[in-house]
Amino acid sequence: MSFTVNALTRSLNVFHLSGSACNNCDIEILDVLTPRYDAERFGIVLVGSIRHADVLLLSGAFNRKSAVRLKRVYEEAPKPIVVVAVGSCACTGNIFAGSYNIFEPVCNYIPIDAFLPGCPPKPEAMISAIVKLIGKLKGK
Amino acid sequence: MVRYLVHIGEVLIFPGLLFTAVIGLVTSWIDRKVTARVQMRVGPPFLQPFYDIVKYMIKETCVPAGASKFVFLAAPLFGLAAVTVASTILWRPMVWPEKSFIGDLIVVLYLLTIPAVSVVIGSFASANPIASIGGSREMKLILSYELPFILACLVPVIKTGSIEFGRILAEPMAAASPAGIIALIVAIVCMQAKLTLVPFDMPEAETELTGGAYVEYSGPPLGIFKLTRAMMLFTMPVFLITVLWGGIPLHEGAVPAVLGAVKYVGLIVITVLIRNTAPRVRIDQAMKFFWGPVTLFGVIAVIVAFIEGL
């Protein structure tokens, strides 16, 4: 494992893109940053611009309008970028799957590195996903 | 030949780039750790700022369409070069007392403005409306804090009659007199704005401008900006201690050096506590604050220094 991959996995800047989510997942994502879980221990911080990001965090079902923006944000991201879909909506569409404005799951638009189902997933599940993701990055 | 090699070594290694970068990154770790403790969190590990910089170096550099490519990529280097040279000039008389020249105070005052100017240039070159707002705020902030900051730096010049770090360090420190204390308080407030920390962080304003002036930067240029900020976090308090508070005289032995380091850590902790307990102010409030009360106190400090010198 090289030093640069080690540095990348120890300093993940997360950009959170919410596609018409109901805010449950968003609140749980914020929980991971609060004093109880404190993701900054592992160098994980939220950033405001996709240009600063190493992780693109998706929440909510992406509909016809927001999927266009999602593709654009993914193209604007500096590579290497890791994409994580948080919540059942982002993974499969959940109860909105097959509705008039949501054509297909988000993995048909951009490549997804980790799916994290749950409505909403617990903060512990998110930390577990981060650990697995770091393992995957190191294995690459 | 050897003389030039020594000069290059000074700029690149000991008081210059490498030394300032390492201590600056350690200082930024102290900043993040104290912030975390204030918020009852554990905080990042010691090597976190170093991991961050290495990570930025391996990321892709995106240049936005419509941006002025050369200026966009050169702006971070201007800032880094300026803070490196400023730190070198600042530290040389503290290590080797004979190595200072007449007017180095003024040179360093100018050089310490360039990192902020480089942020303005870079943000305007990036062809992004959000970055432009951040850049214009940064510009207004420079216009607000420079006047009181220079007034505060005038106090030791009046007291010692010299614009040379070596002479200012040799004389008794300015902060031992009432004028010096007022000047030090004014300078600490200006330092907060010069480092664009809360309450004066409106150029980047994470929650409203999503990164502001830096919004289009990615990869190595962003890493250089972060490194420049960390180095400024080291250089600015050292500058204040040098001109107003007796300096960190490494050549005088262990006790004065440790005392100087304690002053430095004290200034950093004051800065971090201000940043964690104050809300962000608007840019017009900041300008009124700096051109009103802070400049007034700066003028009072200068007048008191003149009266003390009579």
Measured CA to CA in angstroms, residue A94 lies from A24, A129, B237, B276 at distances of 14, 19, 54, 40
Q: What are A84's strand-pairing partners?
A: A57, A114
What is the domain-level CATH number for residue A102? Answer: 3.40.50.12280
Domains held by chain A: number: 1
Three-state SS at A84: strand
pLDDT recorded at residue B172: 82
B38, B41, B123, B214, best to mutate vs chain A, most A CBs in 10 Å: B41
Identity of the residue in B41, B58, B210 whose CB atom sits nearest the CB atom of A8:
B58
Q: State the DSSP code for B304.
A: H
List CB contacts (< 8 A) between A8 and chain B. 55, 58
Q: How far apart are CA A119 and CA A89, in angstroms?
A: 8
- Find the residue in A nearest to B65 (Cα): A76
Confidence band for B289, pLDDT divided at 50, 70 and 90: very high
Q: State the DSSP code for A83.
A: E
Average pLDDT, chain B: 89
Identity of the residue in B41, B57, B214 whose CB atom sits nearest the CB atom of A35:
B41
Domain range for A19 is: 3-139
Q: State the DSSP code for B213.
A: G
> Which stretches of chain B are DSSP H helices?
2-12, 17-38, 48-58, 69-95, 104-111, 114-125, 129-160, 165-170, 178-194, 206-209, 220-244, 254-277, 283-289, 295-309
The two three-digit tokens of residue B1, written as one number: 């030949």
Residue B26 has pLDDT above 90, yes or no: yes
Contact B42 A8 (CB under 8 A): no
Specify the pairing of strand A13-18 against strand A55-59: parallel
The two three-digit tokens of residue A132, written as one number: 């697995």
Output the CA torsion sign for A85, B208, B115, B190. negative
List CB contacts (< 8 A) between B131 and chain A. none
B65 at the A interface (CB within 8 A)? no
Residue-level pLDDT, tens digit, chain A, 140 residues: 577 777 778 888 889 988 888 888 888 888 888 888 888 888 888 888 888 888 898 888 888 888 889 999 999 898 888 899 988 888 888 888 888 887 677 878 888 888 888 888 999 998 888 888 888 888 75
* Domain boundary assignment for chain B: 2-309
pLDDT recorded at residue B81: 93
Average pLDDT score over residue span B204-229 = 85
Q: How far apart are CA B42 and CA A41, in angstroms?
A: 6
B218, B224, B276, B280, best to mutate vs chain A, most A CBs in 10 Å: B218
Cβ neighbourhood burial of A36 (10 Å; 0-12, 13-18, 19+) = exposed
Residue B118 has pLDDT above 90, yes or no: yes
Residues 6+ apart with CB under 8 A from A4: B54, B55, B57, B58
Tens of pLDDT, residue by residue over B250-286, are: 888 888 889 889 999 999 999 999 988 888 888 899 9
B25, B31, B50, B55, best to mutate vs chain A, most A CBs in 10 Å: B55
List CB contacts (< 8 A) between A35 and chain B. 39-41
Tens of pLDDT, residue by residue over B170-191, are: 888 878 888 899 999 999 999 9
Buried b (16+ CB within 10 A) or exposed e, B168-204: bbeeebbbebebbbbbbbbbbbbbbbbbbbbbbbbbb
pLDDT recorded at residue B21: 92
* A125 Cα to chain B: minimum distance (Å): 20
Residue B18 has pLDDT above 80, yes or no: yes
Residue B245 has pLDDT above 70, yes or no: yes
pLDDT recorded at residue A1: 54
C-beta of residue A58 within 8 angstroms of C-beta of residue A84:
yes
pTM for the full model?
0.92
